[in-house]
């Protein structure tokens, strides 16, 4: 798996899923795969390519099949032409089929969600935990505080706020950010807490907050192969899991001059992501045991970007304690 994670195509697809549809890196990955395959929706094509690179790791799913709706509607139309004597029987069969299929879908989803140990772990590990003991923190006031390091190639300034100083011109996408040199505690819950101001969400400058178990950050974008990420672009907020699976929050984010807080709460096997005091997502964090975990923030910027619609104002790593 280590060799696969450092494969250029694997990294490109992972960055695309992390940045989301419409982003420059998304378009680069789709263009690359179109040359090789040329069929399928963009998201399905990216996920399928990533699964192939991961040597057959697959996600279980329950679906009606690609042609179910079309075949059902065609059948109903044929039945309606044959007259009222067979119309009732045809519709009855169709309705029963839909009900049975719906029951299977609902039942399957219920069984999968009910048996998920990750969701139970999130509640067990993080419910009633108070994150108030700082392990490391920085407010980006002047030089970067000791215990924190820059990652990626995008030039950044920490003169009161963390933001890019220049934007790429010769390359399509660059990234840069800050990571805490101190590993997060794995024997107890912890939280990465980033305060940021988002004047205008865009695809030109995408802010990210992450937890990774593989701090081999790429030189150009400052991304790592296996990380849990919160991000926001013009389409809204997303959570990207270490395996590349994307949780679309389906919530547009309005720009504001006010600072807002992103928190990723991490337990033994589960995590919770919050924005401005609202829970966005919870589930298995997929971070691997036996490895140190590191937290940080990052920007992805595309060529030609201008202005600074997003800045980070502070970043903290906190230890959790039961109330």
Q: Is residue 80 very low, low, confident or very high in pLDDT (cuts 50, 70, 90)?
A: very low
pLDDT > 90? residue 11: no
How far apart CA 187 and CA 267 sit, in angstroms, is: 9
CB 64 within 8 A of CB 101: yes
CA count, 13 A, side-chain hemisphere, 173: 23
Q: What is the pTM of this model?
A: 0.68
Tokens of 209: 């907050």
Report the distance separating Cα 278 and Cα 33, nearest Å.
37
| Residue whose structure tokens are 């971070």 | 287
Question: Which of 43-47, 73-77, 208-212, 261-265 shows the lowest mean pLDDT across its residues?
Answer: 73-77
For the stretch 195-216, pLDDT in tens is: 999 998 888 899 999 999 999 9
Q: What is the mean pLDDT of residues 111-136?
A: 69
Once rounded to an integer, what is the mean pLDDT over residues 180-190?
93
The percent of residues above 90 in pLDDT, for the chain, comes to 41
- Mean pLDDT check: name the lowest of 31-40, 74-83, 246-255: 74-83
85: confidence class by pLDDT, cuts 50, 70, 90: very low
Per-residue pLDDT, averaged over 291-309, amounts to: 86
Partners of residue 208 on adjacent β-strands: 231, 298
Per-residue confidence band for 36, with pLDDT thresholds at 50, 70 and 90: low
Q: What pLDDT is attached to residue 118?
A: 46
**Cβ atoms < 10 Å from Cβ of 275:** 19
The confidence score (pLDDT) of residue 300 equals: 93
Report the chain's mean pLDDT, rounded to a whole number.
Answer: 79
Name the E strands within the chain. 129-138, 148-152, 156-158, 162-164, 173-180, 190-198, 205-212, 227-233, 236-240, 246-248, 259-266, 270-275, 278-284, 294-302, 310-322
**Residue 17 to residues 108, 191, 235, 305, 315, Cα–Cα distance (Å):** 26, 24, 13, 21, 25
The whole-number average pLDDT for the span 8-19 is: 80
Output the pLDDT for position 62.
34
The CATH architecture annotation of domain 119-322 reads Sandwich (2.60)
pLDDT for the residue 183: 97
Predicted pLDDT of residue 25:
80
Domain spans of the chain? 68-114, 119-322
Query: In the 3-class helix/strand/coil scheme, how is 16-81 assigned residue by residue?
Result: HHHHCCCCHHHHHHHHHHHHHCCCCCHHHHHHHHHHHHCCCCCCCCCCCCCCHHHHHHHHHHHHHH
Predicted confidence at residue 181, as pLDDT, reads 97
> How many CB atoms within 10 Å of residue 232?
24
- Average the pLDDT over 19-32 and give the result: 78
The pair phi, psi for residue 245, each rounded to 5°, is -70, 135
CA distances from 81 to 74, 86, 204, 238 (A): 11, 9, 54, 47
Which pLDDT value is given to residue 172? 81
Local confidence band at 109 (pLDDT 50, 70, 90 cut-offs): very low
**Contact indicator for 274, 265 with CB cutoff of 8 Å:** yes
Q: How many CA atoms lie within 13 A of 171 on its CB side?
A: 13
Question: Nearest 5°: phi and psi at 290?
Answer: 85, 0
Section 84-93 average pLDDT: 53
Place of tokens 């910027």: 301
CA torsion angle 232 248 59 300 (round to 10): -10
> How would residue 309 be classed by pLDDT, with cut points 50, 70 and 90?
confident
């Amino acid at each position: 798996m280590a060799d696969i994670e450092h494969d250029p195509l694997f990294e490109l697809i992972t960055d695309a899923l992390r940045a989301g549809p419409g982003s420059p890196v998304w378009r680069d990955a789709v263009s690359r795969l179109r040359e090789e395959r040329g069929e399928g929706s963009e998201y399905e094509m990216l996920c399928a390519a990533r699964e192939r690179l991961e040597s057959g790791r697959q996600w279980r799913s329950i679906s009606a099949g690609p042609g179910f709706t079309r075949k059902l509607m065609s059948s109903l139309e044929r039945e309606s032409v044959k007259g009222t004597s067979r119309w009732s029987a045809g519709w009855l069969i169709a309705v029963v089929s839909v009900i049975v299929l719906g029951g299977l879908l609902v039942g399957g989803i219920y069984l999968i969600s009910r048996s998920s140990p990750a969701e139970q772990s999130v509640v067990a590990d993080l419910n009633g935990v108070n994150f108030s003991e700082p392990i490391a923190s920085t407010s980006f006031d002047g030089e970067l505080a000791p215990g924190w390091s820059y990652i990626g190639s995008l030039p950044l300034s920490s003169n009161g706020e963390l933001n890019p100083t220049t934007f790429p011109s010769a390359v399509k996408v660059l990234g840069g950010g800050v990571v805490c040199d101190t590993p997060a505690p794995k024997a107890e819950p912890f939280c990465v807490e980033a305060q940021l101001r988002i004047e205008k969400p865009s695809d030109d400058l995408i802010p990210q907050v992450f937890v990774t178990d593989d701090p081999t950050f790429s030189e150009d974008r400052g991304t790592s192969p296996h990380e849990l990420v919160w991000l926001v672009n013009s389409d809204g907020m997303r959570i990207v899991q270490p395996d590349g699976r994307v949780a679309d929050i389906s919530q547009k984010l309005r720009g504001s001059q006010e600072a807002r807080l992103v928190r990723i709460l991490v337990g033994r096997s589960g995590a919770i992501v919050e924005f401005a005091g609202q829970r966005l997502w919870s589930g298995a964090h997929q971070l691997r045991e036996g490895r140190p975990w590191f937290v940080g923030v990052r920007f992805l910027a595309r060529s030609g970007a201008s202005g600074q619609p997003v800045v980070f104002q502070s970043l903290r790593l906190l230890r959790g304690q039961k109330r």
